[in-house]
Amino acid sequence: MEIFSFLGRLHPLFVHLPIGFIILSILLEVYISISRIKINPKIISFSWFLSFISTLSSALFGWLLYSDGLYIEEKINLHRITGFILVFLVFIAWFFRQSYFRNAFNKNLRGILSFFIVLNLFVTGHFGGNITHGQNYLIDYAPEEIKKIFLEKETLYDEILVDLDSIKLYNDIVEPILLKKCVSCHNNNISQGDLNFSSFSLLTKGGISGSSIDKMNPRRSLIFKRITLPENNLKVMPPDGPKMSFDEINTILWWIKNFDKSEQELSLLEIPLDIQYSLNNIFNIDFQEKKWFDKIDISNLDDSSISKLSDSIFNIKFISDKKKFLSIKLLEKDLKLDEFDKLQIVKNHIAYLDISGVNVSDNLFEKIIEFKNLIRLNLNNNNITQKEIKIIQGLDNLQVLNLYGTNVSSEILNILKQFKSLKRVYVWNTKISDRQIENFNKENNGIKLIGGI
């Protein structure tokens, strides 16, 4: 009934009355225990009576307010329990001030009772205050040192370390934010404002104030409005705990704009740069395409294995001071197989290999196929044909193949398609015609043939 709701809402106003009476009663108790002047006990009894009646009525008003269902069970529980304990304690205090029992209660017991009443009063008041003003109301403007002690530390989101094609917009991005900031109040059990964020389908339904999402005007969406209200506004969401951060708000707004793509993977979405920054800040999602040297897991080379190579016919260099991958270039015009065999001890560490401008044999390619982390292979100006390239088509990491000035013909084109990671192949000055190059590139199979003049 509306009248109950109306009365219920008077609770926060009314509670200040019993607080006054209780404090007055206790002050009177203290006064008579330390002063020689006698006070008529009936006055104290009457003061306690007012305290009891007003405490009881506020508790009842509070009950009415609670029945409105606007509050969360867990948050209100403590306030309710302490409230009713207070009613009981105040009743005891009044009861034993009646003339019959006055002597049953000695001075010390009276003192202890008063102490507990005051304590209970503060605790109840504090829990009540938390409900109306939010948990951090008292310390919001406190000096930093005090804040540090009381403010809860915001928990961080779990990092998302998988590829973009397995991150779903709603499930992996939006839901964790809602779970952290909204679902504690808007779930199956509580659903404040009749709003339930515990699943995507329920979320789209909206609450009492209507749909929380406005796809046409994302900024007018209720959810966006409420999370962007000023911090001291009564309607700001979330009411307790840390508010939404800029990055969270930014992400939510971007999601509303792409609401129809909620089920899609991030790799299918166009993600503006500022959203990339935000998602990176929240979930540590890396939008940079992973470089090959970050993808291949390999240990560092130790100096002893490299020192064996120091007098070879190759120029051998680390590609970075991580000492994982090598760049190797043949310095001589003549390649002896036994020299090449020396590279076996570092075969998994060879990323770039340049053996251009020499006469090479088939046997060599049987060895090259073992360099499974080879990224770039220069075979230009050699006497090779597609036959040799076919031998090494199992090089799964190979990205760049330089074949200019060789005898390869158009038969190589189908072999090239077998390479898993191949991106660019240089075929200038070979038997492949410009037209064949053009047609191959039109097929758009991830490999670009580069010809020349």
Q: Indicate whether 373 belongs to the interface with other proteins (CB under 8 A).
A: no
CA distances from 303 to 165, 247, 309, 314, 348 (A): 39, 46, 10, 17, 15
Residue closer to other proteins (CB basis): 153 or 333: 333
Q: Indicate whether 355 belongs to the interface with other proteins (CB under 8 A).
A: no
Q: Indicate whether 7 belongs to the interface with other proteins (CB under 8 A).
A: no
Residue closer to other proteins (CB basis): 231 or 303: 303
- Min CB(451)–other proteins separation in Å: 7
Q: Are 226 and 236 in contact (CB under 8 A)?
A: yes
Q: Mapping DSSP to helix (H, G, I), strand (E, B) and coil, where does residue 69 land? A: coil
- Min CB(276)–other proteins separation in Å: 13
Q: Mapping DSSP to helix (H, G, I), strand (E, B) and coil, where does residue 330 land? A: strand
Single out the segment in contact with other proteins by CB under 8 A; choices: 168-176, 239-247, 312-320, 386-394.
312-320
Contacts 24+ apart (CB under 8 A), 265-270: 265/164, 265/165, 265/166, 265/167, 265/168, 265/169, 266/164, 266/165, 266/167, 266/168, 266/169, 266/173, 267/163, 267/164, 267/165, 267/167, 268/165, 269/169
Q: Indicate whether 320 belongs to the interface with other proteins (CB under 8 A).
A: yes
CA separation for the pair 303, 307 (Å, rounded): 6
Q: Indicate whether 224 belongs to the interface with other proteins (CB under 8 A).
A: no
- Min CB(133)–other proteins separation in Å: 45
Q: Indicate whether 376 belongs to the interface with other proteins (CB under 8 A).
A: yes
- Min CB(210)–other proteins separation in Å: 42
Residue closer to other proteins (CB basis): 320 or 418: 320
Q: Indicate whether 296 belongs to the interface with other proteins (CB under 8 A).
A: no
Single out the segment in contact with other proteins by CB under 8 A; choices: 62-70, 192-200, 228-236, 425-433.
425-433
Q: Which of 25, 198, 212, 380 binds other proteins (CB under 8 A)?
A: 380
Name 211's Cβ contacts closer than 8 Å, sequence gap at least 6: 204, 205, 221, 222
Q: Indicate whether 424 belongs to the interface with other proteins (CB under 8 A).
A: yes
What is the CA angle 128-132-136, rounded to 5?
Answer: 90
Name 163's Cβ contacts closer than 8 Å, sequence gap at least 6: 267
Binding site for other proteins (CB under 8 A): 291, 293, 303, 306-307, 309-311, 315-323, 325-327, 329, 376, 378, 380, 400, 402, 404, 424, 426, 428-429, 450-453
